[in-house]
Chain A
Amino acid sequence: MFNKDRWKEILEVLTSNWFRTLLTAFGVFWGILILIVLLAAGKGLENGIRSNFGDIATNTMFMWTQGTSMAYKGLPKGRRFTFKLEDVAAIRQKVPELRFVSPRNQLGGFNGANNVVRGIKTGAFNVYGDYPDIINQDPMGITSGRFINELDIGEKRKVAVIGEGVRASLYDVGEEVLGTYIKIQGVNFMVIGTYKKNSNDGNGEEVQKEIFIPFTSFSQAFNQGNNVGWMAITANDNSSITQLKEEIFTVVRENQKIHPQDLRAIGHFDLFEEFNKVLGLFKAMRWIAYFVGILVLLSGVIGVSNIMLIVVKERTKEIGIRRALGENPWSIQLQIIMESIFLTMISGMAGISFGALVIYLINYFLENNGPVEMFLNPSVGLGVVLTALNILVVSGLLAGFIPAQSAIKVRPIEALRTE
């Protein structure tokens, strides 16, 4: 199959009419190019969105209270309730598949009044009471000092980790931050660290203006007792929070005497579910890319098949001669099919290479002109290229099949009579 004469002949046939061969090849070239570029664009979008999620633990849900909607055990409907530290302990105990259960308390918020004072400077910031685990769920880069640790929690130390945005509002440029004091709602906290969050979506500015203090200190300083404002719960990597969340709700409902069918009492946001929806979108986009690409490729393949039919027609007499000389029909079929596969492969590889060049150029411009929202590093993997090559071989085979059949359908004697 791979002898020199066979290849020589393939080249002779394909180069005998350059213009026609090029036009035919262009169909396949174009199809595979579009497939590659579409896949790369989809990947670019996916990369962009994934980088927006950043390092956030995506297997996470947030949970808060909303007031009951059903009467239960003598308690009225519409009752307000608060999570307690006992709820956290119960969840930890009864749902072992969870990695982090972080109770949180919060002061301030968007457009809140000024709540933090340092000297003559004031500002309105979100203040969170947190456990050290939160840095794993809501990642931030510590730019100086340290984050809250277990000793801070145990000793209820009045310490604070502030965002770079807070530092910019309360401190002069170049001023030493660590060891200084800020006053949060009249209570002094010592700054022990600064952070910078990695975020490039709309509220990039806002997330740098947060202050983290130990949960226990928060409770004591702001009279929260064992109240918990809300929780951030992350499941282990091999289980999904979306499946575990009902179990968690059941634990809390039992603890808080909420009717088991009361779906409104506990509010939540399932980040994992949302994340999966987005992932599903990417999957759909990939399918669309394959669908469109393969359809375009198909028209190219039909072009190849058409030209092969014409080539066979032109060579009817030659095929007749060769059969009269004793070439076996299978060998003639093989010849036609190999010509077809060769043509599709060559033009396909040219398409892949050109696609790679296009992707390279896009990346080059992205790099030079700065990042674009929601689009990052478009690329195609080796797997995609191998898939594309497989598609090419199969389509070459299909394109050559009908012409090869027609090549041996004509009996040699009739083929010889053709002029």
Chain B
Amino acid sequence: MIEIKDLHKSYKMGSNSLHVLKGINFSVEEGELVAIMGSSGSGKSTLLNILGMLDVLDEGSYTLDGVPIKDLNETKAAQYRNKFLGFVFQSFNLINYKSAMENVALPLYYQKVGRKERQEKALKYLEQVGLREWADHLPSELSGGQKQRVAIARAMAAEPKVLLADEPTGALDSTTSYEVMDLIQKINDAGNTILIVTHEPDIADMCKRIVHLKDGVIVEDKKITQVRASQYV
């Protein structure tokens, strides 16, 4: 599903440049649930941003579902993001003047799905995350866990190939974190490919595979036995 070869990325900081990713080779199969771990500054967010086409790579190649991702202009990148990827952010990033349902329907709107169908789908995904009754509420009326669940529903609504989550539980307490992880595991069980950036070991343990990043290179890549989050909920 994801194929990365010899990926390099550096940032210019004034006169000196900061080499963040120093040759990453990495691939993800369909249906995997991968945790990317590392201390801050290890390059894990940069990697996720490149995977999410929010940032461009300097060297190497990136293939997503057989499509080489290179030389993207903004319009093309927007199209690919919409078609291939779903994002879940640490700070939820819901649009605060739109209701939960409208937020979930947003990616469908960009796909030019009709109004009626959009609403039906949005309600369906809200139902999946257990927030059907909250469809008409604004994000400010929801708790942190609920917001993140809306964000997950939004990421799923476009039926992406890969779900990218950047510290999805970073702003949540542990109980809520486990609820969110439980939801993510269920989505994964349904066959979706998910990548999670986290620095919390207990969250990483709930994935099926852990990739450790340190100073811009992969130091460890292992498959693990998944800990089900449902037992903590």
A-B interaction: yes
Residues on A facing B (Cβ under 8 Å) = 4-5, 12, 16, 317-318, 320-331, 408, 411-413, 416
Assess A326 versus B79: contact at CB under 8 Å? Given A413-B55, A416-B93.
yes
Chain B: residues with Cβ within 8 Å of the partner, total of 26
Chain A CB within 8 A of B54 CB: yes
Contact of A328 with B95 in the complex, beta carbons under 8 Å:
no
Which residues does chain B contribute within 8 Å of A331, judged by CB atoms? 110
Q: How far is the CB of A319 from chain B (nearest CB, A)?
A: 10
Chain A CB within 8 A of B12 CB: no
Chain A CB within 8 A of B8 CB: no
Chain A CB within 8 A of B81 CB: yes
Q: How far is the CA of A318 from the CA of B95 in the complex (A)?
A: 6
- CB-nearest residue of chain A relative to B89? A416
Contact of A325 with B110 in the complex, beta carbons under 8 Å:
yes
Chain A CB within 8 A of B126 CB: no
Contact of B97 with A327 in the complex, beta carbons under 8 Å:
no
Which residues does chain B contribute within 8 Å of A329, judged by CB atoms? 74-75, 78
Can you list, as one digit per residue, whether each of B51-78 has a CB less than 8 Å from chain A (1) or not (0)?
0101100000000000000000011001
The majority secondary structure among interface residues of chain B is helix
Contact of B78 with A321 in the complex, beta carbons under 8 Å:
no
Find residues 75-127 in chain B having any chain A CB closer than 8 Å to their own CB. 75, 78-83, 87, 89, 93-95, 97, 106-107, 109-111, 115
Chain A CB within 8 A of B129 CB: no
Q: How far is the CB of A11 from chain B (nearest CB, A)?
A: 11
Contact of A317 with B93 in the complex, beta carbons under 8 Å:
yes
Contact of B79 with A321 in the complex, beta carbons under 8 Å:
no
- CB-nearest residue of chain A relative to B112? A3
9 further A-B contacts with Cβ under 8 Å, apart from A321-B94, A324-B54, are A318-B95, A324-B52, A325-B107, A326-B79, A327-B82, A328-B110, A329-B78, A411-B54, A413-B49
Contact of B109 with A5 in the complex, beta carbons under 8 Å:
yes
Which residues does chain B contribute within 8 Å of A328, judged by CB atoms? 74-75, 78-79, 110
Chain A CB within 8 A of B147 CB: no
Chain A CB within 8 A of B9 CB: no
Chain A CB within 8 A of B158 CB: yes
Contact of B95 with A322 in the complex, beta carbons under 8 Å:
yes
Chain A CB within 8 A of B44 CB: no
- CB-nearest residue of chain B relative to A329? B74
Contact of A321 with B109 in the complex, beta carbons under 8 Å:
no
Contact of A4 with B55 in the complex, beta carbons under 8 Å:
no
Q: How far is the CB of B65 from chain A (nearest CB, A)?
A: 15
6 contacts between A and B (CB under 8 A): A4-B115, A324-B52, A325-B154, A326-B83, A326-B107, A329-B74
